[in-house]
Amino acid sequence: MKTKFSLLSVTLVATIFSLPTSAQSKEKEPYTQAGTNMRLIEQQQVPIHWVSIEGIKESIKDLPPMNVSFDIDDTVAATSGCFHYGKQKYSPEDYSYLKKQEFWDEINAGCDKYSLPKESAKALIQMHQERGDQVFLITGRTAGKDDQVTGIMEKNLGIKNMQPVNFMGGKEHSTKYNKTPAIIKHKISIHYGDSDDDVLAAKEAGIRGIRVLRAANSNYVPFPQAGGYGEEVLINSSY
């Protein structure tokens, strides 16, 4: 009796697994629009050189303390609110507000109190400072009459031995990119930034440039193509 039962069980299982898929489940509900799956997503991935904070730390572990620099807007802080405010006040119809000194005077005099520091930047700065590296901030902003940016960023980002922010906007320079002179002046070894100009200024200065991702809700458009120059891109750096 046991032998018959075992043979019957084996036969039944074999029959079930030999049935067509349609016989094992109900007719599949048709899709209503194009979708995706992980295999398709992986096939569509651009070959970007992603790096992590731990990876950067490992890559410089045998190097002595160095000078590193960061862009400000969309790199260490989400500052779109300040620029949205400035546009609405000074030139609602276009971007000419960026060329108005009164905008820069106002924005640099305290608006960054309302800017949100990026967690990725704080973690990156902490890693560098634990190594004994010196942090500099280099921005494309035009300097204002009252620089409160330096103090605000020092507090919000936890920067030690804070150096005055380098405001490069509107300054004459012999280099192609306006941040290059400050990178060279301060003997920077690694520069971090979200814009193409950050990456290209680092290249022009002959140093390592690492791209930081711009937040998806930034009003600084069009968005750059991270990794488009073959540079390293910091993962999870949009916030």
User: Is residue 73 annotated as a catalytic residue, yes or no?
Assistant: yes
Average pLDDT over residues 120-148: 98
Residue 23 confidence (pLDDT) above 80: no
Quote the number of domains for the chain: 1
Residue 24 lies in a domain: no
Residue 205, domain CATH: 3.40.50.1000
Residue 165 lies in a domain: yes
Give the structural domain span for 196: 47-78+116-234
Residue 13 confidence (pLDDT) above 50: no
Q: Per-residue confidence at 20, pLDDT binned at 50, 70, 90? A: very low
Residue 219 lies in a domain: yes
- The per-residue pLDDT for range 182-208, each reduced to its tens digit, is 999 999 999 999 999 999 999 999 999
pLDDT at 211: 98
Residue 84 lies in a domain: no
Lowest mean pLDDT of 3-7, 25-29, 49-53, 123-127, name the range: 3-7
Residue 92 lies in a domain: no
Q: Which of 62, 73, 74, 105 is catalytic?
A: 73
pLDDT at 118: 98
- Average pLDDT value for the chain: 89
Q: What are the E-state strand segments in the chain?
A: 49-51, 67-70, 77-78, 116-117, 134-142, 166-169, 188-193, 208-211, 232-234
Q: Per-residue confidence at 33, pLDDT binned at 50, 70, 90? A: confident
Q: Side-chain half-sphere of 119: how many Cα atoms within 13 Å?
A: 4
Residue 34 confidence (pLDDT) above 90: no
Q: Which of 62, 71, 94, 198 is catalytic?
A: 71
CB-CB contact of 135 with 129 (8 Å): yes
Residue 234 confidence (pLDDT) above 60: yes
Average pLDDT over residues 5-13: 41
User: Is residue 133 annotated as a catalytic residue, yes or no?
Assistant: no
Residue 10 lies in a domain: no
> Beta strand 188-193 with 67-70: parallel, antiparallel or unpaired?
parallel
Q: Per-residue confidence at 35, pLDDT binned at 50, 70, 90? A: confident
Q: Which residues pair with 53 in a beta bridge?
A: none
3-state secondary structure 124-191: HHHHHHHHCCEEEEEEEEECCCCCCHHHHHHHHHCCCCCCCCEEEECCCCCCCCCCHHHHHHCCEEEE
Residue 177 lies in a domain: yes
Residue 60 lies in a domain: yes
pLDDT at 37: 77
Average pLDDT over residues 75-90: 97
Residue 170 confidence (pLDDT) above 60: yes
